[in-house]
């Protein structure tokens, strides 16, 4: 049976799922959330692996289409629902700059610091908590430094690349949630902090926040 509206398989604290929630909200898409508890291992169950062999969230299901990978999902949403705010700029160079910024976060930084990596460092390699946090904050600082430099070149605008939110602001939101959660120093990244504060005043970002999700313990 086809779902009446798109379904997002999500974990409230997943950075990648957070991105997709923001994108759906910005586009005004009506969707439902199917919570997946990563802490209890629901993502490793056979039924979930049928949806995504990687066993990762998010998964986006729209009719007969099932997609994984947050960046692919967000670009699909942007193209499948063309009305309303575009998540990428119109110009080819501008679109490339936004994608490059997103990749610093989603491709280069986040994969080093996600839950399965931290669990591997602890469980398989026996890395103590303090050393794991040193690892985490190091890579977070590396990524944020690159983002800060890119925003310096981006020029004026309330958001990362202009006066409307884009995929860049979406990716930054999840990244900053993690940075704040793990007490990463942010004093060297004033542009990053300023753009993030603007984005978090937007209702679409607020609605998607991890602590406002139905599976958040409260």
Give me the percent of the chain exceeding a pLDDT of 70: 99
pLDDT digits (tens, 9 = 90+) for 32-50: 999 999 988 889 898 889 9
Q: Where are the domains of the chain?
A: 8-85, 92-204
Three-state SS at 9:
strand
Q: What angle do CA 128, 12, 124 make, to 5 degrees?
A: 25
Interatomic CA distance for residues 140 and 177, integer angstroms: 11
**1 has a pLDDT exceeding 60:** no
Interatomic CA distance for residues 92 and 115, integer angstroms: 34
Domain 92-204, CATH number (from 1.10.3720.10, 1.10.10.10, 3.30.70.2470, 1.20.1050.10)? 1.20.1050.10
pLDDT category at 158 given cuts 50, 70, 90 is very high
pLDDT category at 210 given cuts 50, 70, 90 is very high
Closest CA to 18 of 177, 165, 161: 177
CB atoms within 10 A of CB 14: 24
Alpha-carbon torsion (158, 161, 166, 172), positive or negative: negative
* Mean pLDDT value of segment 194-218: 97
The pLDDT of residue 159: 98
* Mean pLDDT value of segment 157-181: 97
Residue 89 near residue 162 (C-beta atoms within 8 A): yes
Do 92-204 and 8-85 fall under one CATH topology?
no
The pLDDT of residue 195: 98
Interatomic CA distance for residues 188 and 199, integer angstroms: 19
Closest CA to 16 of 119, 114, 147: 114
The pLDDT of residue 41: 87
Interatomic CA distance for residues 134 and 138, integer angstroms: 6
**77 has a pLDDT exceeding 90:** yes
**27 has a pLDDT exceeding 70:** yes
**Global confidence as pTM:** 0.95
> Could you tell me the fold of the domain covering 8-85?
Glutaredoxin (3.40.30)
**82 has a pLDDT exceeding 60:** yes
The pLDDT of residue 2: 65
């Amino acid at each position: 049976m086809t779902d009446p509206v798109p379904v997002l398989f999500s974990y409230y604290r997943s950075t990648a799922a957070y991105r997709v929630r923001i994108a759906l909200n910005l586009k005004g898409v009506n969707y439902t959330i199917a919570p997946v508890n990563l802490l209890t291992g629901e993502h490793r169950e056979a039924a979930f692996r049928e949806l995504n062999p990687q066993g990762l969230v998010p998964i986006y299901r729209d009719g007969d289409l099932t997609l994984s990978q947050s960046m692919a999902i967000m670009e699909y949403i942007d193209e499948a629902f063309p009305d309303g705010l575009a998540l990428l700029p119109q110009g080819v160079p501008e679109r490339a700059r936004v994608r490059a910024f997103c990749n610093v976060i989603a491709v280069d930084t986040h994969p080093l610091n996600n839950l399965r990596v931290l669990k591997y460092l602890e469980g398989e390699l026996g890395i103590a908590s303090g050393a794991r946090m040193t690892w985490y904050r190091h890579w977070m600082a590396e990524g944020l430094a690159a983002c800060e430099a890119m925003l310096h070149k981006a020029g004026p605008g309330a958001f990362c690349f202009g006066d409307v939110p884009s995929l860049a602001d979406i990716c930054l939101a999840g990244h900053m949630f993690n940075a704040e959660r793990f007490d990463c120093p942010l004093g060297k990244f004033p542009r990053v902090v300023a753009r993030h504060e603007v984005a978090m005043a937007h209702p679409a970002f607020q609605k998607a926040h991890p602590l406002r999700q139905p599976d958040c313990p409260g």
